[in-house]
Amino acid sequence: GEVAQPGAYSVSPSTLLSSSLYYFRGPTTRGSLRDIRLLRKGKLIGSIDFYDYLLSGNTPDDLRLQLDDIVFIPPRGKTVTIHGEINRRGIYELKESEGLTDLLQISGGVMISAYMNRAQISRIVPVDDRSELGMDRMVIDINLEAAMADNKDTELHEGDVLEIFSIEDLE
C-alpha cells in the first residue's frame, strides 16, 4: 500500500497493528491514517483509525500481528483544509460519512475569536461538472452557528478549503 518503506519485516510477537507503523516508517503523504488494515491469509481481520490516537491519545482497538500478516494502507480518502480561527489548522482526511461538524471537532474546535455567522468553503468543481455549471471553482458562504446546530451535517468534498473568519476583522 501507501507506505514509506514497503517490504517484509520480522517483528516481535507482541507487536500491535498501530506499533507496526514504526517499522516501515508509516504511510506516505498519499496514505490513509483513517483506515489502516490488517490482512491475514487474504482476508480483512480488522482496521484502525489512527486519528483516534493522534488527536485524543486514546489507543485504538488494536490487533496483534501474527506470522505472514499484511499491514495494508490504502490511498488517503477525502481530504479537506481548514484555516483561520480554528485551534488546529491543517489538512485532514475525512471519512465519506463525515462532514463539517466532524471537521470542526477533529481540528480542535473554533477559537473564541471565530465569527460564527459566516465561514467560507472554497471548492474546485469536479472536471465532469464544469461544463454543466459553467465554472471551475465556487465559493460557498455558510453560517457556522446554524450549521453546527443543524442535524443535517454540511457535506464537504475532496479538496475543499474551509476558512473561518475572525470577529476582530469586523471592526
Q: Write the pLDDT tens digit of every residue in 94-125.
A: 999 999 999 999 999 999 999 999 999 999 99
* CB under 8 A, 24+ apart: contacts of 59-63: 59/18, 60/18, 62/16, 62/17, 62/18, 63/16, 63/17, 63/38
Report pLDDT digits (tens) over 34-76: 999 999 999 999 999 988 888 887 776 789 999 999 999 999 9
Beta-carbon contacts of 40 under 8 Å, excluding residues fewer than 6 positions away, are 66, 68, 69, 70
Task: Give me the chain's average pLDDT, please.
Answer: 91
Percent of the chain with pLDDT over 70: 97
